[in-house]
Structure formats: C-alpha cells, structure tokens
Amino acid sequence: MSFEALRQEYEARRARALAMGGAERLARRTAAGWLDARARIAHLIDPGSFIESGLFATSSNPPDAQATPADGKIAGFGRIGGREIALVANDFTVKGASSGGTNMKKIGQMKRAAAERGVPLIFLGESSGARMPDHMGSRGMGALLGNDPAQYRRTRESPWLSAAMGQCFGSSTWYCVLSDFNVFRKGAIMAVSSPQLAALAMNESVDPEVLGGWRMHAEVTGFADQVADSDEEAIELIKRCLAYLPGHNLEPPPTAAVPADSGRDQERIYQILPESRTQVYDMRRIIDLITDADSVFELKARFGKAAVTALARLGGDSVGIVANNPMFKGGALDADACDKITSFLVLCDSYNIPLVMLVDTPGFAIGIEAERKRAPGKIMNFMNALSLLTVPKLTILVRKSYGQAYINMGGGRNSDEFLAWPSAEVSFMDPASGVTVTWGLRPEEPGYGEALARMRRDSSVYDIAALYAVQDVILPHTTREYLIRMLDVHRLRPTRGIGQHLLRAWPTSY
C-alpha cells in the first residue's frame, strides 16, 4: 500500500474515532444542555495541549469493534495553566461509556503515568457500568475483573480530581469516591448501579434523585465536595481546586500572588465575634478576613455542617482550614463533622498543605443518635489522623473548647503552636453544665450564680497560658500576620516542605 493510501486510511480511521457515537447522539446531548466528552476536555485543558492515548482503541469483542470508537473512554494528557495533567473522560455516546477490557487498560495507563511521573489525574465521570456482554459468564469475569490488583489502590502519589457529570454507575462511581476532590453536577446520578437495577432488586420504583442525586451526596454521604449547575461550572471548580494542590506528593503546593486588599479589615473581627459565649455567629466571615482575599475554597459545605473545611491561602501559600461552625448545633461536632474533618486532614497531609484550626466548640454531640452513628469511632479516627499529620499545624482558640474536643481540635501538644484569643475559655465541660455536675445546682437554685462565676473564672485562658499550655494569647486583629509569620517559622525546611505522608493510604470513604 502506498504512503498516500496509508495516510488516507489513517485520516478515515481518525475521523471515525473523533465522531464518537455519531452526530445524532451528540446533537441530543447538546440540546439537553450536556457537553460531550471531547467538549468537556476542551473546557478543561489549555488549548492545543491535548495528547490522546488510545484514539484508535476499540472493544476487545470483535462484533463491537466498529461501534466503539476510543472504546467509550477518552484518555490522554494535557495542561491546565501550563501544568501537566492526565485525564480520562467518559464518552456516554459510545455504549454508555460502559467498562470493557480495552478501556480499562486505558484507565490503568493513565493511573500509572500519573503516579510514576508526578502529575494530577482527572476523571470526568459518566458511565452506565460494566459492559454486560463482555462481563457476563465465568469467562467474562475471569477475563476482565480482578486482573489489576492495584485498580482501586490509593496511595496518593499525585492528586485525583473527579466530576460526576451524568449517570455514574460502576467505575465512574468508584473513581469519584476514590478521588481527593469530587464535584457533582446537578442532574447527575451517582450510585452503585442504575435506578432500573435497584428497582428490580427492591421490587419497587426508585427515584433516581433519591437514589444518588446531588442532595444525597452533598448533604447525606458527603461524597460531593462541591456542587455545580452545569458542566462548565463543574470543570471550573476542578481547575480551581487544582490550583491549591501540588502536582505530586514530593513537592510543595504552588504559590499565588497576594491580592492587594488582603488583610485590610482585621478590625471587623470584633464586630463579628459576639461578646456573649452563647451567641452564634458565622465563622466563615472570620476565615474570609484572616486569609488572602477571595482565596477560600470550601469543601463539603452541606455535609457535617458543625465544621468548616476549606482550602485557602495565607501570604500566597496554600493552607487547609478546619474550623468549628457555631451556626450549626452551636459548633458541637457530630459524626458527620468528624468524618469530614478526618477526610480533610488526609488531603492536607498527603499534599504537604499546612493546617490552621480555628476553635469554638462546646464539645462532641452526645446522645442516642450519636452512638448509633458510631461517634466514638469517628472521634478516634479524627484524633488518630490528627496525630499522624506531619505538616505544620497551627491552632487558634477563638472562644470555647471543652472536653475531648479540646484535644481533637489541636489542643495541647497536638499543634505546633497553640494560640488563643482573650475571649477563649477552656474546661472539661461547659461551665453551666459543670456547676450542675459538680455541685448539683440548677439555674433557679440559690448559689448557682456564684458557683457559675467561679467555674468561669477557673476557665480563663490566662490560667492555661500561665502553664504554657498555650504558647501565646494574641489579639484577634493580629491573627493574620501572626499566622503568616508562624507558618514561615514552621516551614519544613529539612525536607523542602514535604511531609512524611503517614496518611497516604487512609481510605477515601469509610
């Protein structure tokens, strides 16, 4: 065959592969407001930077070869803001992006390249699950499943970021929940299997949104770190999150320019923080003032709402923020909040992100519901993760910290620096409850007021400062500059900013 004929064949095969599932299917997606896989890639990466891996791949089942361009999963490498990334985008127009022998090899290649070459891996999820003709029967199972013992291993050599962007069943669900960051597009469904199969198993109709819609995963499971209204917004959230993370775990996170208006309104903290210890306020407003302007990127905002977890910047450097949220349950930490914080600690430890904790909590939520949700185990998971953290940890005691939560929220030697505002109060329990437990007095009984005043006096932050159990008492409006200075003091110079990654194999969901 002549070179010209070879070239013509190449171009014809390439055109068939790029056509995906055909013009009609692509048009239906566009009309419904959903981007196709290649359009998603174009929104994600820098123009002209995509190098595809497996364009000419097809199903390993010969009768399906002509109907499976790229075998339904588009893989390759690109750049985001000049940084190399690896990616897999599921093409739902080709057999529902179902998993088969060929496209599973493509995913394995991207995972290996990302881990060994130190680049982030991005999954754009939308799939119908396993390709049934390929997997059915003992031969199908023996040929396709279980042949890669590292298929679902996470040891966090490089960040994984994902998006649930349509129907996500099977592998697209697995990679979303295995990722360090997952954004959920409204209208997407993420579950173990489809509503149709779930309905058969339950012998009743199943509402897809109830089974695995955005509210389920943003508010109940916590699998959605952010929620987006469109494909474009979901992709922008992935890019924004990536900007806080290093390419791999053996380098520090990237730095950014400090906006000129950062730190200008520190005195406003006094207007936000109530003088009354029982009055609620929004800790997020204080976080916004302390960090670089417009740098706060909150994760799991609708889940475990007694806590705030966010990536942000201080002096241009990436930091992780863990804070109590008095607007919800008074800041009492429940099982969901513990899971949320633990997950975030793993993220920070794995990618060399220093931690800042802002404390205002009456302790852990107690009662029958807490025990049913396995609160003791959640509390100890949280504590174990904190103790294994090897990045710098700075804690600010804002208002109150009682009981075991004092330790979990960085108290004592569980931080590199434990600081307090003059408004802080520390004790084994809330002074009002302490009076009742210690002396058996209730608010309406004589002597209660005197006992409460004594209990509060003994909880003064200056008493704990006198023991050097807090390293300093600082005024609220000096917090930003203090943190920036102390983060520089505690920079991991001997290892050039790299932690020990003792949490690198911690489960992504538990």
pLDDT, tens digit (0-9, with 9 covering 90-100), for 251-263: 999 999 999 999 9
Split at pLDDT 50, 70, 90, the class of 436 is: low
Q: Is the pLDDT of residue 501 over 80?
A: yes
Q: How far is CA 273 from CA 330, 362, 410, 484, in A?
A: 14, 16, 21, 22
Q: How far apart (Å, rounded) are the C-alpha atoms in residues 148 and 138?
A: 17
Q: Look at 420 and 149; give whichever has higher pLDDT.
A: 420
Domain 3-242 adopts which CATH fold? 2-enoyl-CoA Hydratase; Chain A, domain 1 (3.90.226)
Element (DSSP H or E) covering residue 210:
helix 208-212
Mapping DSSP to helix (H, G, I), strand (E, B) and coil, where does residue 232 land? helix
Amino acid in the structure at residue 440: G
- Which pLDDT tens digit goes with each residue over 41-73? 999 999 999 999 999 999 888 888 888 999 999
Domain 266-489 sits in CATH at 3.90.226.10
Note whether 424 and 409 are within 8 A (CB): no
Q: Please tell me the pTM assigned to this model.
A: 0.91
Query: At a CB cut-off of 8 Å and minimum separation 6, what does 23 contact?
Result: none
Residue 99 DSSP code: B
Fold match between domain 3-242 and domain 266-489: yes
Measured CA to CA in angstroms, residue 210 lies from 137, 156, 163, 303 at distances of 32, 32, 19, 16
Question: What phi and psi values does residue 253 have, to the nearest 5 degrees?
Answer: -65, 160
Q: Where are the domains of the chain?
A: 3-242, 266-489
Structure tokens at 495: 């290892």
> How far does Cα 125 stand from its chain's mean position?
16
> What does the alpha-carbon distance between residue 423 and residue 294 come to, in Å, rounded to a whole number?
27
204 token code pair:
């009743």
Strands 355-361 and 393-402: parallel
Going 45 to 48 to 51 to 52, the CA torsion angle's sign is positive
Please give the span between the terminal C-alpha atoms of the chain, in angstroms, as a whole number: 58
Query: What are the CA-CA distances from residue 324 to residues 49, 282, 283, 417, 420 (Å)?
Result: 42, 10, 7, 18, 15
**Token output for 166:** 């349509």
Give yes or no for residue 204 having a pLDDT over 90: no
In the chain, the amino acid numbered 275 is E
Mean pLDDT score, 334-338: 95
